[in-house]
Amino acid sequence: MAKGITKRSDDYSQWYIDVVLKAEMAEYSPVKGCMVIRPTGYGIWEKIQQRLDRMFKETGHVNAYFPMFIPESFLKKEAEHVEGFAPECAMVTHGGGKLLEEPLAIRPTSETIIWSTYKGWINSYRDLPILINQWCNVCRWEMRTRLFLRTTEFLWQEGHTAHATCEEAEEEALKMVHVYERFAEDYLAMPVLVGRKTESEKFAGAHHTYCIEAMMQDGKALQAGTSHHLGQNFAKAFDVKFQDRDMELKYVWASSWGVSTRLIGGMIMNHSDDNGLVIPPRLAPVPIVFVPIWRSEEEMALVLGKAREITADWDPLFFKIDDRDQYKPGYKFNEWELKGIPVRIELGPRDVASNSVVVVRRDTGEKVTMPAEGLRENLEKMLEDIQTSLFKAAKQRMTDRTYTVDSYDEYKARVEGGGFYRVFLDVDNPEVEKQLKEDTRSTVRCIPFDAPEEEGPCMITGKLCKHRVIAAQAY
Amino acid sequence: MAKGITKRSDDYSQWYIDVVLKAEMAEYSPVKGCMVIRPTGYGIWEKIQQRLDRMFKETGHVNAYFPMFIPESFLKKEAEHVEGFAPECAMVTHGGGKLLEEPLAIRPTSETIIWSTYKGWINSYRDLPILINQWCNVCRWEMRTRLFLRTTEFLWQEGHTAHATCEEAEEEALKMVHVYERFAEDYLAMPVLVGRKTESEKFAGAHHTYCIEAMMQDGKALQAGTSHHLGQNFAKAFDVKFQDRDMELKYVWASSWGVSTRLIGGMIMNHSDDNGLVIPPRLAPVPIVFVPIWRSEEEMALVLGKAREITADWDPLFFKIDDRDQYKPGYKFNEWELKGIPVRIELGPRDVASNSVVVVRRDTGEKVTMPAEGLRENLEKMLEDIQTSLFKAAKQRMTDRTYTVDSYDEYKARVEGGGFYRVFLDVDNPEVEKQLKEDTRSTVRCIPFDAPEEEGPCMITGKLCKHRVIAAQAY
């Protein structure tokens, strides 16, 4: 509607692209499928990194860095892994003007290079566990890309842990999917389903995969984070053994887990509206913007002086004062609305006279007058309220649009319209999921951890199942 | 000597590698010339990032992210740039199983991809300046590599700024080399010379290059950071113009500046010793380690309890308690010495009885007893003292080993032995520097900003020069 943004109700996909571009979050680069993350978007990635990194460290992890290049032969060492990733790799064949003896893949994920390194680090049970995370870029050659949601190069973190027992690896994989759940809900204000992927949908090379799945405003699912119990697959592929307390040589157990810049896409699709971006306050690099209003140099000195007086002892990361002289207030209101700043403060000469300010919430558009006295505390409360409201609204939407369906005909008729579908489906049989995908372009998103025990016939084959799974169309 | 580390006096190069490997800072990877940065090393990189990032933001910069892939044709748009970098590029020729229409270089530096993007962002003087920084990996295919100092892939930051005038670009380039100077001296405790590179040594595509140059313990120079005034070269190559206040279309002016994981190598070579790493306290992820000493479970409970009591209200990033039961205290002392933790605290049952601890400085090895009362404040003072002492010692070394030499014969005889040489050299003539390099494997490191005006004959050609430059062998 305003500012050249397509309405969500007209074309949700176009709306998303419009918001990303107009809010200057990201843009496509001259290199096919790659994106430029602009300062507005990168500022949010920095907040995501800070918060998540703290959570990783609080759970005992440390960061490290492994090479971006993976010898082709390494990828081939784990059979499922190479099948899953080799077709998507970018390959370096020349370096320093010469043909390389062995082509190098740019990491699509780092299990292979990391486990080839862990071999040198692990000899004894004393060397375990290893709890390492890496922040880096990865590359998967994608045919159809969408800014943040699916790009050829993207930024992410990947945790890679090594354990003495199966139980510890399992505990780690579970712990981290719950860290992701907490992060998504507490910071992105994005409610998620937590569960296990089916055999068909799990990570290439994993024993099993846990995930968080979010619902976008159009009812489609977004896989927002995954955590894998890798069993001993990579330890066996790279021959990583340790001498246990009982003196026996055993293969090491592994987990890996990751989230990416895709989270930014999820944030946008959860909260933004026809006026542009809406950033949850806890992820806003600067949550408050002052827009002083003046018509003369005298007024300018007055309102800017007042804004500086009010904020004299505030944290500089809490607010900014938009003192640009080349733009009118109306232009600035529009710009900050479009860019999703949680709270805008208008401050004109009359406000100075009454020692108050006008406060505008980005999420509801609500305008209230607040006394200059005690403003910071009131804004902090408002920001918390915005954070909570955004989460509640998204949660309500997910609840409202989660349907229990038993007939495949009904499912086929409805799934295109969006929503999560609680269905009985025989996920032990990969053919069933294949058919589901072919018929409906939808997939099983997960087997939720909290799925109650209930028995019913698979909606495709009729085979008796023990619980419902969540099926949906997805990004 | 201890721990399998070669003595510096026996073989400085081998000592360096021993320290890096034994302190578990980094190791070579299976991919030629690439390194794995281990948690100990990466923790220092994180501190460097945090501190520098704050300095960048305080000087008005924001972060963004540009694709790692650069179309070959982009590199070719700036003549000097392609000549400088094309021979070192890693090239991606295949993606998703198919031959690419155009090979993609992995960024050796990002001027070209960034200026092709800035073209879309800059129309008017209102769009300037752009003050962007990027933290990322880069790749330069190197023949001879050395951990941290020169690796095929490395981590760095690169600032890329766009300005309306030559003066502003110049001011920015100067500002940032001084930011690097301050960072090197205040955090790395590494004194540096600040100056300008000669025409032969400047960045490929720059008008001129400023740099900081440090001296390692063997007297060799290390280029530790560079800041370039790029003039309008990249704006012209990518046709980036803006409409100025006077309504005229003009090319944009540019700067770029960067430091890399090489700084970690500089830090090691400045301060470490025959017992291993020495980390300046301000870059130590955790500056204090408690090693409690016990012989029985009872004693263990006693000393661990005391350590926890003393540190109850301390910042968890300030200290750690090494409560590992599988290692003896002597082993731990050795390990933390090797890993360069600035201060170690020994705490046994007798110390508990006297309500005191034994404090050991890593830099001097000095042992003192301190009362448990007021310990944190005393440790903070000690850490500051260590930081200052490290800087002073390095500064003294640099002063002592900076020589004024006038005869080329004397220079040739001495330069191999290390040190900075204040010499007259005709740096307007590239042939002179070429000969210097051939004769002595040394180079002009910089024309220091603070070089006094003095006149003298070029030590090679006899041509009259207006000031001395600094020549040295370098890493």
Please write the tens of the pLDDT for every residue from B247-303.
999 999 999 999 999 999 999 999 999 999 999 999 999 999 999 999 999 999 999
Domain B402-472: CATH architecture, name and number where available: 2-Layer Sandwich (3.30)
How much of chain A is helix, strand and coil, in % rounded to 5? Answer: 35, 30, 35
Looking from the CA of B326 toward its CB, the CA atoms found within 13 Å total 6
Dihedral of the CA atoms A368, A374, A376, A381 (nearest 10)?
-60
pLDDT digits (tens, 9 = 90+) for B343-386: 999 999 999 999 999 999 999 999 999 999 999 999 999 999 99
What residues of A are in contact with residue B104 (Cβ under 8 Å)?
A: 31, 90
Does position A80 have pLDDT exceeding 90, yes or no? no
Task: Check B31 against A70: CB less than 8 A apart.
Answer: yes
A2 pLDDT above the threshold of 60? no
| Residue A362 three-state SS | coil
Instruction: Give ∠ CA A422-A427-A433 in degrees, rounded to 5.
Output: 85
Is residue B71 reached through a cis peptide bond, with omega within 30 degrees of 0 on the bond before it? Answer: no
Residue B180 distance to chain A (closest CA, Å): 22
Do B157 and B261 contact (CB within 8 A), yes or no? no
The beta-carbon neighbor of A42 closest among B43, B65, B106 is: B65
Sequence-distant (6+) residues with CB within 8 A of A284 are A44, A47, A340, A341, A342
Whole-angstrom CA distances from B268 to B188, B367, B392 are: 9, 23, 16
* Residue in B closest to A74 by C-alpha: B30
Q: What is the mean pLDDT of chain B?
A: 96
Q: Are strands B153-163 and B62-63 parallel, antiparallel or unpaired?
A: unpaired
Interatomic CA distance for residues B135 and B153, integer angstroms = 14
Residue range B192-238, pLDDT digits in tens: 999 999 999 999 889 999 999 999 999 999 999 999 999 999 999 99
Residue A39 to residue B64, Cβ atoms within 8 A: yes
Farthest CA pair distance, chain A: 83
Q: How close A460 comes to chain B (CA, Å)? A: 34
Phi, psi (rounded to 5 degrees) for B51: -70, -50
- The alpha helices in A69-165, defined as continuous H runs, are 72-75, 79-85, 111-121
pLDDT band of residue B99 (cuts 50, 70, 90) is very high
Question: Are B92 and A88 within 8 A, CB to CB?
Answer: no
Q: Cα separations (Å) of B170 from A299, B158, B162, B254, B379?
A: 35, 17, 11, 9, 43
Mark residue B355 as left, alpha or beta (left: phi above 0; alpha: psi -120 to 50; beta: remaining). left
**Six-digit token string for A361:** 């919430």
In this complex, do B87 and A68 lie within 8 Å of one another by their Cβ atoms? no
Q: Residues with Cβ < 8 Å from A103, sequence gap 6 or more? A: A72, A91, A92, A93, B94
Q: How far apart are the first and last CA of chain B?
A: 25
Q: Specify the 3-state DSSP secondary structure of B129.
A: coil
As a whole number, mean pLDDT of residues B327-331 equals 94
How big is the A-B interface in CB pairs under 8 Å?
Answer: 154
Tell how strand B98-106 and strand B90-95 pair up: antiparallel
State residue B2's pLDDT score: 54
Look at B96 and A143 and tell me if their CB atoms are within 8 Å: yes
Q: Are B250 and B244 in contact (CB under 8 A)?
A: yes
**The predicted structure's pLDDT at residue A369:** 97
Higher pLDDT, B130 or B32: B130
Q: What are residue B95's DSSP bridge partners? A: A90, B98
What pLDDT is stored for residue B1 in this prediction?
Answer: 39
Give the integer Cα–Cα distance in Å for A65 and B148: 12
**Average pLDDT value for residue range A444-449:** 97
Segment among A165-169, A247-251, A470-474, B324-328 with least mean pLDDT: B324-328
A402-411 own/partner pairs: CB under 8 Å, 24+ apart: A402/A215, A402/A470, A404/A468, A405/A459, A406/A456, A406/A459, A407/A459, A408/A459, A408/A460, A411/A440, A411/A459, A411/A471
- The answer to whether the beta carbons of residues B170 and B254 sit under 8 Å apart is no
Which residue, chain included where needed, has tokens 């006297």? B354
Q: Where does A323-453 have alpha helices with state H? A: 329-338, 349-353, 375-400, 408-414, 430-440
Q: Which residues pair with B319 in a beta bridge?
A: B288
pTM of the model: 0.96
**For residue B274, with 0-12 CB atoms within 10 Å meaning exposed, 13-18 middle and 19 or more buried, which class applies?**
middle
Minimum distance, in Å, between the CA of residue A178 and any CA atom of chain B: 24
What torsion, rounded to 10 degrees, do the Cα atoms A413, A419, A422, A426 define? 60
Which chain B residues touch A93 with a CB distance below 8 Å?
A: 91-94
Long-range interactions of A430-437: CB distance < 8 A, separation 24+: A430/A199, A430/A200, A432/A458, A432/A460, A432/A461, A433/A198, A433/A200, A433/A201, A434/A200, A435/A460, A436/A460, A436/A471
Distance (Å, rounded) from C-alpha A37 to C-alpha A147?
9
Give the closest residue to B437 by CA, choosing from B151, B262, B198.
B198
Q: Is the pLDDT of residue A55 over 60?
A: yes
Residue B78 in this model has a pLDDT that exceeds 90:
no
Sequence ranges of the domains in chain A: 2-271, 286-382, 402-472
Place of tokens 């530790």: B224
Question: Hey, of A45, A68, A110, which one would you mutate to test binding to chain B, going by the most B CBs within 10 A of its CB?
Answer: A68
Q: Which residues of B touch A74 (CB under 8 A)?
A: 30
Which residues have a Cβ under 8 Å from the Cβ of A364 and sit 6 or more positions away? Answer: A389
User: Going along B407-442, which residue ranges are E strands?
Assistant: 420-423
Cβ-based neighbours of B151, under 8 Å, separated by 6 or more: B33, B34, B35, B142, B145, B261
Contact A67 B36 (CB under 8 A): yes
pLDDT > 70 in chain A, percent: 100
Mean pLDDT on A160-169:
98
For chain A, report the end-to-end CA distance as a whole number of angstroms: 24
CATH of domain A2-271: 3.30.930.10
Q: Which helix (H) or strand (E) holds B154?
A: strand B153-163
Contacts of B90 in chain A (CB under 8 A): 69, 92, 94-96, 104
Chain B CB contacts of A322 below 8 Å: none
Q: What is the DSSP string of B247-302?
A: S-EEEPEEEEEEEETHHHHHHHHHH-BTTB----GGG-SS-EEEEE--SSHHHHHH
Tell the burial category of A209 from Cβ atoms under 10 Å away from its Cβ (0-12, 13-18, 19+): buried
Which residues in chain A have their CB less than 8 angstroms from residue B95's CB?
89-91, 141, 152
Task: State which fold the B286-382 domain adopts.
Answer: Rossmann fold (3.40.50)
Query: What DSSP string describes A75-103?
Result: HTTSHHHHHHHGGG-EEEEEETTEEEEEE
**Which 3 state secondary structure label does DSSP give B357?**
strand
pLDDT tens, position by position, A382-429: 999 999 999 999 999 999 999 999 999 999 999 999 999 999 999 999
Q: Would the CB atoms of A68 and B139 count as touching at under 8 Å?
A: yes
Rg, chain A, Cα only: 25
B133 interaction partners in chain A (CB closer than 8 Å): none
Q: What pLDDT, on a 0 to 100 scale, did the predictor assign at position B172?
A: 98
Kind and range of the H or E element at B133? strand B130-139
- pLDDT at position A44: 98
Q: Which of A179, A209, A153, A222 is nearest to A48 (CA)?
A: A179
β-partners of residue B210 are B196, B227
pLDDT in tens, A322-371: 999 889 999 999 999 999 999 999 999 999 999 999 999 999 999 999 99
> Is there a shared CATH topology between the A2-271 domain and the A402-472 domain?
no
Give the residue from chain B lying closest to A84, CA to CA. Answer: B96
Place of tokens 């007086």: A309
What is the DSSP annotation of B23-61?
A: TTSEEE-SSTT-EEE-HHHHHHHHHHHHHHHHHHHHTT-
Joined together, the tokens standing for residue A357 give 């300010």
